[in-house]
Chain A
Amino acid sequence: MPPLQVDRTAPPPPGELRAFRFPPFLRRTLPGGLTVYAARLAGVPLVSLELIARAGGQHDPTPPISPISKAGLATFTASLLDEGSARRDALEIAAWIERLGGYLSSAADWDSAYVAAALLAEHTADGLDLLAEIALSPTFPEPEIERIRRQRAAELLRRGYDPSSQADDKLFEVIYAGTPYAAPLLGREDTLESLVRDDVVAFYESHYSLNGATVIAVGDLDPEELIRDVEKTLAPRSGQEPAPAGPEINPAPLDGVVVHVVDRPGASQTELRLGHAGVKRTDPDYLALTVMNMLLGGKFTSRINLNLRERHGYTYGASTRFAGRLGPGPFVVDAAVSTASAGAAVREVLGELRRIREEPVEPHEMHETVSYMMGVYPYTLQTIGDVAKRLEVLAVYGLPDDHYDGYADRLAAATREQILEAAHRHLHPERIAVVAVGPADEVVPQLEGLGEVTVHRRPEPAAG
């Protein structure tokens, strides 16, 4: 064959597009109310199995609905599931799965609790047995409760000295005051100390019903056979009352721009967060907001990253996100900046937020963003874990089975007008919290004039 000639002066044209479809999966709701999603992905001999219960942090008892705050109860309960079952103690459970090279985790996010196992495909049936055992017969032994409590207390202490966590925690405390989202998922020191075994048992009894729960299985497996296995192991135990729906979470809008500086004397950099409450995952504007966010701060070539990093060199990276939750998840801008540029960086971000909600985005930006989101789609579906995550989204937010099949068409149909409208409705640069974690003496003067400034100084650590 003759050698190819290349033209370096312009981007080479693409070849022929090859089609991609979301992997097929089975969904079946069994008698008793347990739903199973199963997908075969046979690239490597591994499987991912998980049981999802409606037991996320949004259910943490919170005033005024509850007399006292029990922030952290949902994640505390979830983390205790694998610390003892009717058949085995905590170490026996860990040793069993680890000996097979597998991983077991039990945890909760704001929406749901997840008991998950990843292991070699040949151990799929055993893995399901294990999930059933720990999800259905946890014993919550007192010594394990105390051990996990101390571990979480130490983790809270660590977070209090980690600038990135400090910034997140302060932002959510400010923008979600009076709602479960205001506290870290882990809870606070005071609530953690107050939780007792009865709280955990009561939370488990009322929120871990299999009626309304979901099993997601992805990997080198036969979906029909998997569903039969679930019928044998888990389905006989379902048929309880369904778990209660979550509370309505309605944070009050902020009064204006509110500035909170968390003092970190001597810090060599300042962690910035700007944010406010956003929308539910099921909001009709969610797709338009996803496109808008991608263009604004969701990718490397986004407006905010190019501005703060490539134009000004203020930061190693800046990004934005709308977090999808059952309730109105946050809109957050995130950057660690050199302290001398903190004020300038905040003003640049606020300027970008105003611009995108007042002026239509440029046609070439719109094209680049939509094209990126369509092109990157197969990349985000390479692994068993990737596909399991997407099925979780269908299950947790009640989206239809063909949701992903229509994704490319919905993206292609998004317009600049929709982006502008969505930005206008859901971005609020005039009612936003600005959090800066850094040396207050240097940061506060730079942030004056934006809005009311509150400075938080760390109490001296107790002796000992």
Chain B
Amino acid sequence: MTLTASEPAAALQHELPFERATLGNGLRVVLHPDRSLPLVAINLWYHVGSKNERPGRTGFAHLFEHMLFQGSQHVGTNDHFRHLQQVGGVANGSTWFDRTNYYETLPAHHLDLGLWLESDRMGFLLPALTRETLDTQRDVVMNERRQRVDNQPYGRASERIHELLYPADHPYHWPVIGYMDDIAAATLEDVRQFFRTYYAPNNAVLTLAGDLDPDEALRRVEAWFGEIPAGPPVPPVSSMLAPLGGERREVIEDDVRLPRIYIAFRGPAYGRRGWYAGDMLAGALSGGKSSALYRDLVYERQIAQDVGAWISPYEEVATFMIVSTARPGVEAGVLETAILEHLDRAAVEPPRAADFERSRHRMLTEFYSGLQKLDNRADLFSQFTTYFDDPGGVAREADRYLEIEPRELTEYAAAHCSADQRVVVTVVPRASR
């Protein structure tokens, strides 16, 4: 019942066939046939996110995402979801630092319905924009911010980390959802201008995955999207970074009882070899009860309620983060000392074989598990095409992890996790009034 370290879970070859095309207007299209269920996933990435905003005008990419569900020239105000849901479709959108995505999974025979809706809001949005829908969505988004950030225990911490880790003019400095005052100030003209600048076919990737014939599906895509004119080139984002130049710390008081500590560093951008080493390091340190941090902090010393480490897949620069919540009566400083001991050791000693192996296998099972859902697979194809112009990267993702050697985890910790590069935010119970 044992597995040797060399046994390649990589032998799990997964079939991920695809075809790709680029329309005359620059829209890149990926087609992934899989006929196992009568479903089709439509997934559209626009290469615009909160990093394309500027200070004082934050939260705009996300508010804009909401406006794209408020109808377009041929689709009524509340009809986007209604059309999709009444045929059994599941739809949503999301905004992140680097991109905004829109997606729907439908019974396969309703493919045209999804293409109609997506092409209408790409090509024919402006006539449908109204002050009323903007006013309502601004209220909805302000409530979303309250629900996710302001009224959420520990909700402000990750926002503060980004503010401290990246300087005020860096595009990852401000939160994706934006600041309340900026959200309140958004105008209809802002919405129009944002659409003209970023929502053009040449700044988008469309993936169709599921029960489809690639040639026939491409013909339909051409029919629905081909006539939408290309837009001007998208303005570049400047993300030059000087070194942090010393540790930065902050204490936040919140309505909580258990202190929590966040320790964060910058890391190599997603797609670099170093990023995969960082993800493997995070997996060796945390992830599972037998991991080094969990075993020490939660199981043996019982100073922590939980502990986690991860690296975020950002396009310009990654954020590597360790988070741990204290047990009652334990100060955040005790957790900090313990976590930093592990990080310091990781920078000089190779990971234990068991930790490395667990990290490796966990990456693989998570990756394969994620491939089960058609909409996840479509999203991965769009992601690899948007960031790297390489839909085939999806199938090679597992190998990227398996190429990493144990010493690269040590090198990662030594290069990226030193004291002068870290941000430490602690959330502590608010002093009694």
> Interface residues, chain A, CB within 8 Å of chain B?
1, 3-6, 8-20, 43-46, 90-91, 94-96, 98-103, 118-120, 126, 129, 147, 150-151, 153-155, 157-158, 160-163, 264, 266-269, 271, 299-301, 306, 309-316, 336-338, 367-368, 371-379, 381-384, 460-461, 464
Contact = CB atoms under 8 A, between A and B. Distances in A.
Contact of B136 (A12, A310, A375): A310
Interface stretch (B36-44, B46-54, B166-174): B36-44
B85 A301 contact: yes
A158 B302 contact: no
B223 A4 contact: yes
A336 B147 contact: yes
Q: Which of the listed residues A5, A46, A153, A367 has the most CB atoms from chain B within 10 Å of its own CB?
A: A46
Interface stretch (B243-251, B272-280, B371-379, B386-394): B371-379
B111 A91 contact: no
B385 to A, nearest CB: 22
Nearest to B372: A383
Nearest to A338: B143
12 contacts: A6-B116, A18-B38, A20-B38, A98-B288, A98-B362, A155-B305, A269-B147, A310-B78, A310-B140, A316-B147, A371-B86, A375-B89
Given A3-B223, A374-B88, A376-B90, 10 more contacts: A17-B107, A19-B38, A43-B371, A46-B368, A94-B289, A98-B361, A154-B258, A311-B136, A312-B136, A379-B105
B88 A158 contact: no
A432 B220 CA distance: 51
B196 interface: no
Given A120-B9, A372-B88, A384-B372, A90 B220 contact: no
Contacts of B222: 3-4
A118 B136 CA distance: 44
Nearest to A299: B85
A157 B429 CA distance: 12
Contacts of B407: none
Given A17-B107, A266-B255, A316 B143 contact: yes
Contacts of B150: 268-269
Given A375-B87, A379-B39, A147 B116 contact: no
A374 B9 CA distance: 38
B223 to A, nearest CB: 4
Given A14-B113, A376-B88, A379-B90, A98 B151 contact: no
B327 interface: yes
Contact of B299 (A102, A129, A147): A147
A160 B372 CA distance: 36
Nearest to B327: A154
Interface residues of B, number: 92
Given A6-B116, A99-B354, A368-B82, A44 B88 contact: no
Interface string B389-409: 000000000000000000000
Contact of A98 (B85, B138, B325, B358): B358
A162 B39 contact: no
A99 to B, nearest CB: 5
A383 B87 CA distance: 21
A44 B106 CA distance: 22
A336 B155 CA distance: 15
B87 A14 contact: yes
Contact of B305 (A1, A43, A151, A378): A151
B74 A9 contact: yes
A6 B224 contact: yes
B416 interface: no
B159 to A, nearest CB: 14
Contact of B143 (A306, A314, A374): A314
B85 A150 contact: no
Given A17-B109, A18-B38, A383-B372, A8 B124 contact: yes
A44 B140 contact: no
Interface string B1-17: 10100000100101000
Given A98-B288, A368-B85, A378 B37 contact: yes
Given A6-B223, A316-B144, A99 B368 contact: no
B142 A119 contact: no
A66 B57 CA distance: 61
B369 interface: yes
B357 interface: yes
A252 B150 CA distance: 37
A99 B113 CA distance: 46
B107 A375 contact: yes
Nearest 3 pairs of A and B residues by beta carbon: A375-B88, A101-B361, A313-B139
Interface in B268-299: 288-291, 295, 298-299
Q: Which of the listed residues B86, B150, B302, B357 has the most CB atoms from chain A within 10 Å of its own CB?
A: B86
Contact of A464 (B138, B327, B329): B329
B197 interface: no
Nearest to A147: B302
Contact of B373 (A46, A267, A382): A382
Contacts of A271: 151
B3 A99 contact: yes
Contacts of B151: 163, 267-269, 271, 336
B425 to A, nearest CB: 18
B109 A46 contact: no
A312 B143 CA distance: 12
A391 B14 CA distance: 26
Contacts of A14: 87, 107, 109-110, 112-113
A290 B86 CA distance: 16
B302 A91 contact: no
Contacts of A311: 136
A120 to B, nearest CB: 7
Contacts of A91: 289-290, 295, 299
Q: Which of the listed residues B14, B110, B329 has the most CB atoms from chain A within 10 Å of its own CB?
A: B110
Contact of A43 (B36, B142, B153): B36
B95 to A, nearest CB: 14
Contacts of A372: 85-88
B186 to A, nearest CB: 14
B364 interface: yes
Contacts of B81: 300-301
Contacts of A382: 37, 39, 372-374
A163 to B, nearest CB: 6
A299 B84 CA distance: 12
B188 interface: no
A1 to B, nearest CB: 7
Nearest to B143: A316
A287 B432 CA distance: 50
A371 B143 contact: no
B365 interface: yes
B267 to A, nearest CB: 23
B39 A99 contact: no
Nearest to B362: A101
Contacts of B90: 376, 379
B256 interface: yes
B257 interface: yes
B131 interface: no
A151 B298 CA distance: 9
A368 B86 contact: yes
B83 interface: yes
A384 to B, nearest CB: 7
B86 A367 contact: yes
Q: Which of the listed residues B302, B365, B368 has the most CB atoms from chain A within 10 Å of its own CB?
A: B365
Given A1-B219, A336-B151, A268 B146 contact: yes
B328 interface: yes
B365 A338 contact: no
A264 B153 CA distance: 12
Contacts of B39: 378-379, 382
